[in-house]
Amino acid sequence: MEKEVVRITDGVPGTFKDTVAEEAFLTLYLNDKELLTLMCSPDNLKELSAGFLYSSGLIHSADDIEHISVNVSKMTSRITTRKKDLSDDAIFKRIYTSGCGKNMLFYNTLDVAGGKIVTNKIQIQSSQITELVKAFEAKSATYKETGGVHSAAFCSESEIIAFHEDIGRHNAIDKVVGEALFSNMNMENLMVLTSGRISSEVMYKIQKMGCAVIVSRSAPTSLAVKLAEKWNITLVGFVRGRRMNVYTAVERIGVAPRAKV
């Protein structure tokens, strides 16, 4: 959105045209029943819808989707699944709560199920992480313009494969998940980059995807670190230039051979 803004510098006002990050409401219908409304950046809504369903545990692959249609003017997304018994009340209640930042759903999962331990032995050099984060930051076009969005990406050890932005850090991740689903990527061999903080909710998503490595330039929370430990996921935070903190499963990160003394 273009907006005339008063910029005050040292007490002196001036007007200029600012670009403000778009925010919109997308209402999801699952098998003809209203599921929930997401606040999001209004782009890649098909990917967002599918990624959200996947992250919430309602679908497990693109094949589970029979049909998906997005109406951009009404801001609705209608998804029908092959297995129609998804849309019973129990599922709907679960999704409502899981939409609350995934907390209730996750809360139960943490206590009850426990999730799958990641055994993937992929290796990545710390220097490659530095390069990937540099490329990731260079890609963040909307952020540069508006300062108001998060980004997320899937990448191999050498390049970014899927990249999306959204005003919500969860939506940005769901959009890359949606793209991965539609292009049949094997998420288990990809790493996730995010501009946002890593909370337990983010770890929950990562675990669902089966990813072994998550990288952020921001901080993790205590629960995220505990879950990464439990699930054997490599959590890398505070990537700033050639420096980074590896919180868990450090064996996946290769380092330069030490100089001989």
Binding-site ranges for its own copies (CB under 8 A): 1, 3, 5-13, 18, 20-25, 36-39, 96-97, 99-101, 103-104, 107, 125-127, 146-148, 167-168, 197, 199-201, 218-225, 238, 242-247, 250, 253, 255-256, 258
Question: For residue 79, what are the CA distances in angstroms to 24, 33, 86, 251?
Answer: 19, 10, 11, 41
Residue of 40, 100, 155, 211 marked active site: 100
Q: Which of 117, 255 has the CB closer to its own copies?
A: 255
Nearest approach in angstroms of CB 253 to its own copies is 7
Q: What is the largest CA-CA distance in the chain?
A: 69
Nearest approach in angstroms of CB 234 to its own copies is 10
- The candidate with the shortest Cα–Cα distance to 213, out of 147, 135, 121, 130, is 121
Q: Which of 169, 208 has the CB closer to its own copies?
A: 169
Nearest approach in angstroms of CB 187 to its own copies is 24
Nearest approach in angstroms of CB 90 to its own copies is 14
Q: How far apart are CA 166 and CA 68, in angstroms?
A: 20
Ramachandran bin of 257, using left for φ above 0, alpha for ψ from -120 to 50, beta for the remaining angles: beta
* Dihedral pair phi/psi, residue 121, rounded to 5°: -105, 20
| Cβ atoms of 194 and 205 closer than 8 Å | no
Judging by DSSP bridges, how do beta strands 150-155 and 191-194 pair with one another?
Answer: antiparallel
Q: Which of 54, 247 has the CB closer to its own copies?
A: 247
- The candidate with the shortest Cα–Cα distance to 70, out of 32, 40, 28, 24, is 28
Pair of tokens at residue 235: 């959590």
Nearest approach in angstroms of CB 222 to its own copies is 4
CA atoms within 13 A on the CB side of 18: 14
Judging by DSSP bridges, how do beta strands 76-81 and 65-71 pair with one another?
Answer: antiparallel
Q: Which of 155, 253 has the CB closer to its own copies?
A: 253
Nearest approach in angstroms of CB 91 to its own copies is 14
**155 catalytic per annotation:** no
Q: How far apart are CA 215 and CA 160, in angstroms?
A: 13
Q: Which of 21, 62 has the CB closer to its own copies?
A: 21
Q: Which of 62, 110 has the CB closer to its own copies?
A: 110
As annotated, the active-site residues are 100
